[in-house]
Amino acid sequence: MNYFSSDFKLGILGGGQLGKMLLFDTRKFDIQTYVLDPSEDAPSKVACNQFFQGDLMDFETVYNFGKIVDVLTFEIELVNLEALEKLEAEGLPVYPSPKTLRLIQNKGIQKDFYAQKNIPSAPYTRFPDLKALQHAVEMEEILIPFVWKCTEFGYDGNGVKVIRATTDFEGMPDVECIAEEMIPFKNELAVIVCRNPSGEIKTYPVVEMEFHPEANQVEYVICPARIDDAVAEKARAIALNVSEQFNHVGLLAVEMFQTEDDEILINEVAPRPHNSGHYSIEASYTSQFENHLRAVLDLPLGNTESKVAGIMVNLVGEEGYSGNVVYENIETVLGWNGVTPHIYGKKQTRPFRKMGHVTIVNADIKEARRIAEDVKNTLRVISE
């Protein structure tokens, strides 16, 4: 099929910042794009050929959108699976497939899958609702502390909470959830795996993630991870195994824990471009977004190795500020070598909302990390 400068239409479900960054590469290759998103202010709206506003969880909306495109992909997992299954049954290529998405969309099902496939992961128990979990805690079947995760609709640290006392249950949603054992770990790592329908497969280097202690969001992504080569090799091998078990097409971001004794445990996966791969736009030979596009179109995959060390800093709304966004001191950091801000196009900020990111590239990872700290302390996301 001729994808370039032709009538071919790539459909993307979700029009957030991941879609916007993916569209940079579709524009580079002159590939026609249709985007569906519930928000009329979606970041992707400015960059696609046709924008449709609609509910991603509504069967008819997703099905009808799929009927007007030639290949369908997504930048968010919360989409109507039944519509994707019907479209795929009618012959539309959907990548990653609804079968893969069904194993990943619900975190309880995802954890069960790891257990069935003997993929190392933290011990857990599934509960139909909060009351059942509270009862298990009362009966001392589940011991505090543990990590609570809602099985659906969690994102960016929402839907995850460390339970340190029974009072922590106050105000929590009464939904299906899992209680996961607290794992003493020394690093949170991630590996992005890329695979096309022909079976070509590549992994990006292992990255290390530093988290904000309160918001449970990634503050820094560091590539390459500052770990032993043997641990990095083990992490890449486990990520490849996970990818093969899910049989996905496109990108699979595999988040992991490196334990105190250098075991690797899977935390969770995302079948799409991912925050842990944003550094690749500036630091890699082929960005994660270009490789996702190459994969879903069954084109040869690009080189995943890094040209230079890269660190990504997330730009999130400062506490105490809501309203029309202002990027304070952005001119200052633009004057620094190897610093590239990405602004996602969200007009309204609020505390901890992801508004953009900044990539720092440098031949010296220590120097890159120092500059990243300076960026974090200088560039503030506030409101008018």
The answer to whether 188 is a known ligand-binding residue is yes
The answer to whether 319 is a known ligand-binding residue is no
The answer to whether 267 is a known ligand-binding residue is yes
The answer to whether 181 is a known ligand-binding residue is yes
Cβ 292 vs Cβ 73: under 8 Å = yes
**Any idea what DSSP says for residue 273?**
-
The answer to whether 183 is a known ligand-binding residue is yes
Beta-strand relationship, 348-349 and 380-383? unpaired
Amino acid present at 30:
D
The answer to whether 172 is a known ligand-binding residue is no
CA 251 – CA 266 distance, rounded (Å): 16
Tell me the C-alpha to C-alpha distance, in Å, between residue 147 and each of 24, 183, 294. 37, 9, 37
Structure tokens belonging to residue 357: 């990111």
CA 249 – CA 143 distance, rounded (Å): 39
Tell me the C-alpha to C-alpha distance, in Å, between residue 346 and each of 42, 259, 293. 8, 37, 24
Q: How far is residue 352 CA from its own chain's centroid?
A: 16
CA 20 – CA 152 distance, rounded (Å): 24
CA-wise closest residue to 369 among 190, 128, 144, 207: 207
CA 298 – CA 292 distance, rounded (Å): 10
Long-range contacts of 207-212 (CB under 8 A, 24+ apart): 207/276, 207/277, 207/279, 209/255, 209/276, 212/316, 212/352
The answer to whether 244 is a known ligand-binding residue is no
The answer to whether 107 is a known ligand-binding residue is yes
CA-wise closest residue to 74 among 233, 251, 246: 251
- My answer on whether omega of the bond before 224 falls inside 30° of 0, hence cis, is yes
Residues that constitute the known binding site for ATP: 107, 149, 180-183, 188, 267-268
Residues that constitute the known binding site: 107, 149, 180-183, 188, 267-268
